[in-house]
Amino acid sequence: MRGGLVASARLLPRPLVRWFLQRRAQQDINENMSGGKKVKIIFVLGGPGSGKGTQCSNIVEHFGFIHLSAGELLRAEINSGSENGTMIDTIIKEGKIVPSEITIKLLQEAIIKGGNDKYIIDGFPRNEENRVVFESVINISPEFVLFFDCSEEEMERRLLGRNQGRSDDNIETIRKRLKVFVESSLPVIEYYESKGMVKKIDATKPAPEVFEDFLN
């Protein structure tokens, strides 16, 4: 039966399948919110190595947010041995951006599982398509967007010293990630800037000072 459904879904036009999945996602999030407060989100953006993860840990310690790192969710998906794992692994090693549907589904599941009303989403949306699909599927606008602004030399230096055994923290992939950040992620920040939603922070400073600037 399930196989039959999957086979029929393959025969349907992609826009129709996408519409159906969006309806399902909105329903799920709405059910999660029913009886509770409206879910609030903050996006945390910045180049690779700008300190997003470090500052998100500080923020959750001081405020009652749940920290969702899109990159961590994707790495967990690889490690779970899911059917998409190999594809995600290849994309991350190449420094490219995973298809929106995959990342958004993982974020949606994490929001529902979190059962909280405040989420800080780290490293997403990474391109305009991510942003548009998230808006239409999840239907929540961020309260504001934090942008950790850091020089490329400093980001490169930090990533080479991160030492977390990541397959993408090597000079070749780092250079590709920096290029993808400029070409695909900066336009997302510019979009939110045009709406007056960005809090930009100088992230080249030492981590405690960056957090101080966030608090002010």
Ligand X SMILES: Nc1ncnc2c1ncn2[C@@H]1O[C@H](COP(=O)(O)OP(=O)(O)O)[C@@H](O)[C@H]1O
Ligand Y SMILES: O=c1ccn([C@@H]2O[C@H](COP(=O)(O)OP(=O)(O)O)[C@@H](O)[C@H]2O)c(=O)[nH]1
The residue whose Cβ lies closest to ligand Y is 71
4 contact choice in ligand X, ligand Y, Mg ion, none (CB below 5 to 8 Å, kind-dependent): none
Across the beta sheet with 66-69, what order do the strands follow? 66-69, 118-122, 40-46, 145-149, 198-202
60-89 footprint of Mg ion as x/- string (CB under 5 A): ------------------------------
Q: What binding mask, one character per residue, do residues 108-127 give for ligand Y by CB under 6 A, x or -?
A: ---------------xx-x-
131 is a contact residue toward ligand Y (CB under 6 A): no
Tell me the C-alpha distance between 29 and 115, whole Å: 10
Angle at 76 between CA 67 and CA 48, to 5 degrees: 60
Q: How many chain residues interact with Mg ion (CB under 5 A)?
A: 2
Binder to ligand X among 158, 168, 177, 201 (CB under 6 A)?
158
Contact residue for Mg ion among 28, 53, 101, 116 (CB under 5 A): 53
Task: Between 123 and 142, name the residue whose CB sits nearer to ligand Y.
Answer: 123
Cis-peptide, bond into residue 15, ω within 30° of zero: no
* 99 contacts Mg ion (rule: CB under 5 A): no
Asked if 125 interacts with ligand X (CB under 6 A), we say: no
Upper half-sphere CA count for residue 154 (Cβ side, 13 Å): 14
Q: Which amino acid is at 179?
A: K
Pairwise CA distance, residues 33 & 25, whole Å: 12
Spacing of C-alpha 193 from chain mean position: 18
Work out whether 54 is an interface residue with Mg ion (CB under 5 A): no
List residues near ligand X by CB under 6 A. Answer: 46, 48-54, 158, 161-162, 206-207, 210
